[in-house]
Chain A
Amino acid sequence: MYGNAYIDPNAKLPSILEGEDPVKLAEFEARIARGEKIEPQDWMPKEYRRQLVRMIEQHAHSEIIGALPEGTWITRAPGFRRKLALIAKVQDEVGHGQLLYSAAETLGKSREDMINDLISGKSKYSNVFNYPAKTWADSAVIAWLIDAGAIVNQLANSKGSYGPYCRALDRICAEEAFHLKYGHDNVVFLATGTDVQRAMVQDALTRWWPPIMHFFGPSDRSSKHTEILMRWKVKMASNDDMRQQFLNMYVPKIWDLGLVLPDPNLKKNNETGLWEYTEPDWDEFKRVINGDGPCNAERLAVRRTAEENGRWVVNALRKPDEKYVTPLA
């Protein structure tokens, strides 16, 4: 599960095309325009490589860290079937992380460097996972709506230009289909259950709505950067377009259950066909993504502890004379 890769709008961007060979660049762009995939061995602009590493790496971290809020409820899942399903979902997320780390490695960044950058806070992951899953119903809302948002994003990106990333996303999207249905089933079960269950899922939805609205990131339609990344099929749709697509697909399903979303301005404008909503608090988004959220410290501590506690196994099995090689694709 994953939102959009976050580009700080105030960050100074390098001149994207500076120093690139114009002939190779033209061939590269023509290949993408023809719908061909780029493979690891192919020539690519420096900025294409840099942006893809950043994006795939953030996506991989999001899968690994995303397993934590839901994993909170594994020990107390209500019933054997729910517990089995939740464990399976969390295992899938971790597996997706592995697929994505491999895809990023084909671009030349080592797995250790990615893990170091995650734990040091240099690399980001999807901001929603810095919020706690307070009740079982939170895990249901995450499984349904965060995964729904992730699918909108991942389906778009699976049509992108980088071969290894597209192949990883094809596998991931196929598995996410179960996550979405599992989450929906879980929310419907609570929403059509007792008054207590219904109140619990309504509370969870109210809590998660602001992070869900943050999920696709701030508006980036007018960015010059977006324009080039979209031409290179690194980015497949603007953040606003994906948010609109998500609202269009899921708000009616939420309302069908008689649940209330905490935004009195949320409605579809039938003339424009677009959803109108209260702009979420982007200052909070920036504060949380830069480290000051309710769970940032815990998420990174869990990852650091896992790395430290498991290190002896990694070391015991390593053969010093064997040289690691980058995976093929």
Chain B
Amino acid sequence: MIIKSLDPRVDRNEMDADATFGGLESMDQWQTYEVFHQTKRGQHHVHVGNVHAPNHDMALMFGKEQFARRGATVNLWVVKSADVFATDYADSDIFESTAEKLHRDAGSYKVMDRINAYKERVKQEL
């Protein structure tokens, strides 16, 4: 039985309500690409998600449709998900080299007290 619809686009396609669907084979699809988006020249590209695509040209095209529909965009990168190498969250202790890292923090170097004390001492000696 051909479906009667309120939507002329459905009617045009003369869809059979009783047709069966052969089904798709699992994992039988294109590559996934991770997408990186740059809002403005000079800024970093930021990871925004991924697309399914058969090659990098179409990954860029789908990336544009998916992640650049609104707002400013000047550039996109795509890279095959398979080519991204990542650390494991379970190993996040590898980033804990020491408990505190003030020695590599600019704010932890306070010299004004010593400078002022030195100036005071030199003035008295004169």
Contact = CB atoms under 8 A, between A and B. Distances in A.
Contacts of A51: none
Interface string B17-59: 1010101111111111010000000000000111110110010
Nearest to A134: B6
Of A42, A98, A307, most B-chain CB atoms within 10 Å: A98
Given A305-B13, A317-B54, A322-B31, A99 B49 contact: yes
Contacts, number: 123
A21 interface: no
Which of A71, A168, A305 gathers the greatest number of chain B CB atoms within 10 Å?
A305
A175 B71 CA distance: 11
Chain B binding surface SS class:
loop
B90 interface: yes
Nearest to A120: B21
Contacts of B9: 71, 74-75
Interface string B56-94: 001000000110011000000000111010101110000
A149 to B, nearest CB: 22
A276 B49 CA distance: 42
A39 B15 contact: no
B3 A297 contact: yes
B65 A317 contact: no
A288 interface: no
Given A168-B49, A175-B70, A305-B13, 7 more contacts: A71-B7, A76-B8, A111-B29, A301-B10, A318-B30, A324-B31, A325-B31
